[in-house]
């Protein structure tokens, strides 16, 4: 498996004015990492999914994602948002952690395992607190890189 998380895909930001601004920013990060051949198409797929149902899973976390033919490799962009953002989450709470997953069209099984393991990791209060307390992009990357080890072990099973 290629690296899911890369340092240039992990950012701490002060705030976003809207959910759409956050999604655009994260799609730009993924595009800059060369995993999207048509970023606008991928972003439209993510926003289409959001219109059906918010990917704000609760507890201050959102996991926007989409499978698309224009995605060349599975990657995850991460944003810690200092000023919580309304994401229309299932629990009605604003979001501070956003994990955007770009998935190639043919990676369904791997994608489902990654989504499951990531969700389980983020349900744990201690794990979320560790991420929220990160003071720099690199510190946040070092924490999410540990998630990749858990995910890779699961996908290998």
How many C-beta atoms lie closer than 10 Å to residue 78's C-beta? 25
Chain segment 37-66, per-residue pLDDT in tens: 899 999 999 999 999 999 999 999 999 999
DSSP for 1-61, written as a single string: ---S--GGGEEEES--SSHHHHHHHHHHHHHHTT-BS-HHHHHHHHHHHHHHS--EEETTE
- Which pLDDT score is estimated for 3? 81
The CA distance from 152 to 157, in Å, is: 9
pLDDT band (50, 70, 90) for residue 97: very high
Q: Where are the domains of the chain?
A: 7-156
Q: Which two tokens stand for residue 66?
A: 């989409």
Q: Are 87 and 19 in contact (CB under 8 A)?
A: yes
Give 151's Cβ-side CA count (13 Å radius): 27
> Model pTM?
0.93
The CA distance from 2 to 77, in Å, is: 14
- Which pLDDT score is estimated for 157? 53
The CA distance from 140 to 79, in Å, is: 9
Q: Which two tokens stand for residue 2?
A: 């290629």
* Partners of residue 74 on adjacent β-strands: none
Q: Which two tokens stand for residue 40?
A: 């606008």
CA quadruple 149, 153, 154, 156: dihedral, nearest 10: 130
Q: Are 90 and 127 in contact (CB under 8 A)?
A: no
Residue 75 has pLDDT above 50, yes or no: yes
- Any idea which fold 7-156 has? Mannitol-specific EII; Chain A (3.40.930)
Q: Is the dihedral of CA 81, 87, 90, 93 positive or negative?
A: positive
């Amino acid at each position: 498996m290629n690296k899911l998380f890369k340092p240039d895909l992990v950012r701490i930001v002060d705030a976003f004015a809207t959910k759409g601004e956050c999604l655009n920013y994260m799609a730009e990060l993924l595009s800059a990492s060369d995993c999207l051949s048509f970023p606008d198409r991928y972003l439209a797929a993510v926003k289409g999914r959001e219109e059906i149902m918010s990917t704000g899973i609760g507890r201050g976390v959102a996991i926007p994602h989409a499978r698309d033919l224009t995605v060349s490799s599975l990657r995850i962009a991460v944003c810690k948002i200092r000023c919580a953002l309304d994401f229309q989450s299932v629990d009605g709470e604003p979001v501070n952690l956003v994990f955007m997953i770009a998935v190639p069209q043919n990676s369904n099984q791997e994608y489902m395992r990654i989504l499951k393991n990531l969700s389980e990791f983020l349900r744990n209060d201690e794990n979320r607190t560790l991420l929220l307390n990160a003071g720099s992009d690199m510190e946040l990357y070092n924490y999410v890189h540990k998630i990749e080890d858990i995910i890779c072990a699961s996908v290998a099973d």
